[in-house]
């Protein structure tokens, strides 16, 4: 399993709903391993070349995985710099909600629900953006465009 980087086309696709046909633990653990190796906070399936509505993240030292996620009850706003494992070397100032509820299914297909603080909500929104084919560079300010021009050009040339 390898990390997919921009401008790979799969990063622009809408991921497909997940059907539960057997155990997905190995896939999730491989995604968690790759995320941790790359110092990430979250990792969506399209970032490993899979068009599936799923992502992983670490919270309080424990890995979590969710299938067919939806984010609800968004509230508050916080603007912070944000990076992405699929866009190395790029940082974008991004306004995100700072409270939420995440619902979906666990590895076993059973319903899950998490309440998110500012960091968790930011991670979840970022990963759900990936599932919808949206990247942080899609909402760059002019300042961010200038700051990231070289890094984007390098990714395009690889």
Task: Choose the catalytic residue: 17, 70, 82, 127.
Answer: 127
- The partner residues of 66 in beta bridges, in order of sequence, read 55
State how far the Cα of 6 lies from the Cα of 25, in Å rounded to an integer: 27
CA distances from 31 to 9, 11, 56, 139, 140 (A): 19, 16, 7, 26, 27
State how far the Cα of 53 lies from the Cα of 121, in Å rounded to an integer: 17
Judge whether 94 and 134 are in contact, CB under 8 Å. Answer: no
Q: Give catalytic status of residue 127 as yes or no.
A: yes
Active site residues: 127
């Amino acid at each position: 399993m390898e990390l997919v980087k921009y401008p790979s086309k799969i990063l622009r696709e809408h991921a497909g709903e997940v059907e539960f046909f057997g155990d997905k633990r190995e896939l999730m653990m491989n995604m968690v391993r790759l995320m941790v190796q790359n110092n990430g906070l979250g990792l969506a399936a399209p970032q490993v070349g899979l068009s599936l509505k799923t992502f992983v993240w670490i919270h309080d030292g424990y890995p979590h995985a969710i299938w067919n996620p939806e984010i609800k009850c968004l509230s508050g706003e916080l603007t912070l710099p944000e990076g992405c494992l699929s866009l190395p070397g790029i940082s974008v100032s991004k306004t995100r909600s700072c409270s939420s509820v995440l619902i979906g299914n666990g590895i076993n297909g059973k319903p899950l629900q998490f309440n998110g603080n500012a960091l968790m909500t930011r991670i979840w929104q970022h990963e759900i953006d990936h599932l919808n084919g949206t990247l942080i560079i899609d909402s760059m300010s002019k300042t961010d465009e200038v700051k990231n021009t070289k890094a984007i050009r390098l990714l395009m040339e690889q």
